[in-house]
Amino acid sequence: MINWKIQLKGTWTLLKKELLRFWRVVFQTVAAPVITGILYLLIFSHVLDSRTEVYTGVPYSAFLIPGLIMMSLLQNAFANSSSSLVQSKVMGNIVFILLTPLTYIQFFIAFLIASIVRGLFVGLAIYVLASFYIDLPIMYPGFVFSFALLGGGLLGTFGILAGIWADRFDQMAAFQNFVIMPLSFLSGVFYSIHSLPPFWQKISHFNPFFYMIDGFRYGFFGQSDISPHLSVVIVLTFFIILAGLSIRLLKTGYKLRG
C-alpha cells in the first residue's frame, strides 16, 4: 500500500500541472471568454434593456449577468478538462501520466478541480467587470456558490468524458459546437423559459444547463423559473451519473490504455 502522503502529493502535482497549463495561456483561457461575456452583456443590454423585463423589478442587464457568468463558467470548465486531455492524447504526452502510480480517482480529482478553478476564475472576472456596469447584489450567496461549484464540476466531468472519447481535435470541436454550445445557448441565459412556447418549455426541462443557470440566477434575485432546491437535486444527480461514468472509463483505461 502506498502511503497517503505520497498519494496526496501525486494528486496535488497533477492538479498543479493542470492549473499551470491553463494559466500559461491565460489570455486564451481566461481573458478571451471574459471579453466575450462582457461583449454579450454590452450588446444585449444596450438593445433590450429598455424593452424587456423578465423578472419583476429586475432590469434586463441584471437578469442577463448571472446567465452570462454561468454560461462562461460552464463552457470553460468543459474546455479545460477536454482540451487538456485531447491535446495530451494527440501529442502523446498523456504517457507521462499513464506511467505513474496515480490512480484513476486521483486522475479524476485533479482534472475536475482544475476545471472548476478555471470556470470560477472566468465567472468571477465577468462578475467583477459587470459590477462596474450595473449594481448586482447577491441575495443568497450559498446558492450562487453551490451552483457555481456544481456546474463547474458537472461540465468539468463532461469534459473528461469528451476528452477520453475524442481522438482528434475535430471530434472535440464537433462535441463543443454541436453539444455544449446549443445546450448552453438554449438554457435560458438570455431569456426566461416562461417566454417560450409550451413545447420548447418542456424541451428545456431536459437540458441540464437550464437548471444550473436558473438556480444560479435564484442566488442573485431570489426568483427563478423552478425551485432552486429541485435544481440542486437535478444537477447533483447529473454530476453523480457523469462522475460515475468517467471514473468507470478511467478505471478500465478506455481509449487511454491499449
Partner 1 sequence: MEKAIVFKNIKKSYGSVQAVNGINLTIYQGEFFGLLGPNGAGKSTLINMLAGIVKSTSGSIKAMGFDVEKNYQEARHSLGIVPQELVFDPFFNVREMLRFQAGYFGKGRENYDWIDEVLERLDLTEKAFTNMRQLSGGMKRRALIAQALAHRPPIIVLDEPTAGVDVELRQRLWAFMKDLNQSGHTIVLTTHYLEEAENLCKRVAMVNRGKLVALDDTKKLIRKNSSKNLNIKIDSKDEQKVLKILKNFQVFIENEILTITLDKLDELNDIIVLLKKNKIKFFDIQTTEPDLEKVFLQITKK
Residues 6+ apart with CB under 8 A from 140: 218, 219, 220, 222
Q: How many residues does the chain have?
A: 258
Question: Contact 123/70 with Cβ under 8 angstroms?
Answer: yes
CB of 27 to partner 1, least distance (A): 14
96 or 185, CB closer to partner 1? 96
5 or 51, CB closer to partner 1? 5
Sign of the C-alpha dihedral computed for residues 160, 67, 199 and 227 taken in this order: positive
CB of 233 to partner 1, least distance (A): 36
In which residue are the cell numbers 448586482 written?
Answer: 136
CB of 104 to partner 1, least distance (A): 10
CB of 255 to partner 1, least distance (A): 13
User: CA angle, corner 72, sides to 71 and 74, nearest 5?
Assistant: 65
Query: How far, in Å, CA of 53 to CA of 61, rounded?
Result: 9
51 or 257, CB closer to partner 1? 257
Residue type, 241: I
28 or 131, CB closer to partner 1? 28
25 or 230, CB closer to partner 1? 25
CB of 3 to partner 1, least distance (A): 8
In which residue are the cell numbers 436558473 written?
Answer: 214
Residue type, 141: P
CB of 91 to partner 1, least distance (A): 6
Query: How far, in Å, CA of 168 to CA of 12, rounded?
Result: 28
Q: Is 9 exposed, middle or buried (0-12, 13-18, 19+ CB in 10 A)?
A: exposed
244 or 253, CB closer to partner 1? 253
Residue numbers at the binding site for partner 1 (CB under 8 A): 2, 5-7, 9-10, 12-14, 16-17, 20-21, 24-25, 88, 91-93, 95-103, 253, 257-258
In which residue are the cell numbers 463558467 written?
Answer: 73
